[in-house]
Amino acid sequence: MTTHIPSVRSLLDYDAEAEAYDTTRGGIPRAEAAAAAVLELLPADAHTLLDIGCGTGIVTSRISRPALRVLGADASPGMAAVAVRRGVPVTLADAARLPVRSQSLDAVSAVWLLHLLREPGLVPAVIAEAARVLRPGGVFLATVDKDSAHDVGSDIDAVFAAHLTPTPSDASGEVEAYAARAGLLAVGEARFTGHGQGRTPRGSAESLLAGRYASRIVPRGITARELAARLELLPDQDVPRAEPTYRIRSFVRV
């Protein structure tokens, strides 16, 4: 019997957003912090790493150290093209169907990917695929609880509170359970600052209307435009609130 594995579906048109994507998401400072966290958790004997959902390669290109070969995979041709310009070798691939031999890699990373995978069954499928391509002792590194990291107790959070997605797809406990099912044992964690990601009321309203919060915010009882209007009433429209602190978990292939 053939098992259906749902494909990775984008919440946004990433091909259309590719060129401007990084400027709306913290740019180089945030990317450097993410890459440093990956390297902090990466074993010294790891020589091959595949960054799935690599996007523009802004993080991937900074996961660098001697004797480490880093590759990227992404389903968006537009994003992959930007990554290639950054010098990242990229394959166009669905993260649930990687064109990679089983047990052939030392590490797989998924930075800011799992929270986007809202289709039922997709996160466990991607985690199982990462486990398949890892050698015994290899590691899977994934950000978790990404969207909830942006809840810093601000007035913006108070506006959004009644409209949060009740079941984020990258909840830490769920990811750990899926990993265990795939033969991956949780072994470590790193935290890093989301530089440039302190939200402003004006920017939050614009992002909401552009669909950038689709994985986290689902307006209930009102339209997205009405919810944005509530943000537009907040004071200090262009003053950033506190920056988030992100988490990345490490799992070893047993």
Secondary structure of 152-195 in HEC code, one letter for each residue = CCCHHHHHHHHHECCCCCCCHHHHHHHHHHCCEEEEEEEEEECC
- Give the Cα separation of 93 and 90 in Å (integer): 9
Q: Give the span between the Cα atoms of 220 and 164, in whole angstroms.
A: 9
Would you state the pLDDT for residue 27? 77
- Predicted local confidence at residue 7, as pLDDT: 40
- Which residue did the predictor score with more confidence, 22 or 169? 169
**What is the pLDDT, as a whole number, of residue 23?**
66
Mean pLDDT of all residues in the chain?
92
DSSP state string for the chain: -PPP-PPP--SS-HHHHGGGTGGGTTHHHHHHHHHHHHHHHS-TT--EEEEET-TTSTTGGG---TT-EEEEEES-HHHHHHHHHTT--EEE-BTTB--S-TT-EEEEEESS-GGG--STTHHHHHHHHHHHHEEEEEEEEEEESTGGGG--S-HHHHHHGGGB-SS-TT-HHHHHHHHHHTTEEEEEEEEEE-TT----HHHHHHHHHHTTTTTTB---SS-HHHHHHHHTTSSSTT---PPPEEEEEEEEE-
pLDDT tens digits, 133-154: 999 999 999 999 999 999 999 9
- Looking at residue 60, its pLDDT comes to 97
Q: What global pTM score does this model have?
A: 0.89
144 contacts 111 by C-beta, under 8 angstroms: no
pLDDT tens digit sequence for 71-120: 999 999 999 999 999 999 999 999 999 999 999 999 999 999 999 999 99
pLDDT tens track for 192-249? 999 989 999 999 999 999 888 988 999 999 999 999 999 999 999 999 999 999 999 9
